[in-house]
Amino acid sequence: MDSLEGAENALILRLGPGALWPQPWFSGWVGGAPLPHPALFVAVMAQRPEPLALKIEGLTLPQRERIAHLIHPDLPSALTPPEVALQKRVEELRRKIDQALDIYRELQQQDPHREDIAVFRKMAQEEITRLSRELKELTSPDQ
């Protein structure tokens, strides 16, 4: 991964010539606080359930390709608490519904006999229905 932004628990490992100078080969943070010693970092992280963000600097392209399957493709979503992720998704769905409604209203003002307008209007209706259904599922009390 290239950025550790948003990570409370993070580890940077540096390989190659830059591993000793100008920066140390190991940098770790737990709960946002730096823990400079690897053994202390491991001992503290072993007691924590939160995810760990890892950045490895100095990898060659073949090395990166070999470990790509181990790396989470979307760090922010992996680090976001479920309730925050749910709230963000609800906000995103509402924004998309508003956008689809705006498109639908604009199409309603066009010539109703134009076939292409009818097709787009139907697409907007289907999108509104789909997004509304997903929003209802996410916000239902039994979730």
Could you tell me which residues come within 8 angstroms of residue 97 by beta carbon, excluding any fewer than 6 positions away? 128, 131, 132, 135
pTM beyond cutoff 0.85: no
Structural domain includes residue 3: no
Structural domain includes residue 1: no
List the domain range (segments joined by +) for residue 90.
82-139
Per-residue pLDDT 10s for the chain (143 aa) are 456 777 888 888 888 765 666 778 888 999 888 988 999 999 999 998 888 888 888 888 888 888 877 776 665 555 566 777 788 889 999 999 999 999 889 988 888 778 888 888 888 999 999 999 999 988 887 65
Of 54, 73, 92, the last residue of a domain is: 73
Structural domain includes residue 4: no
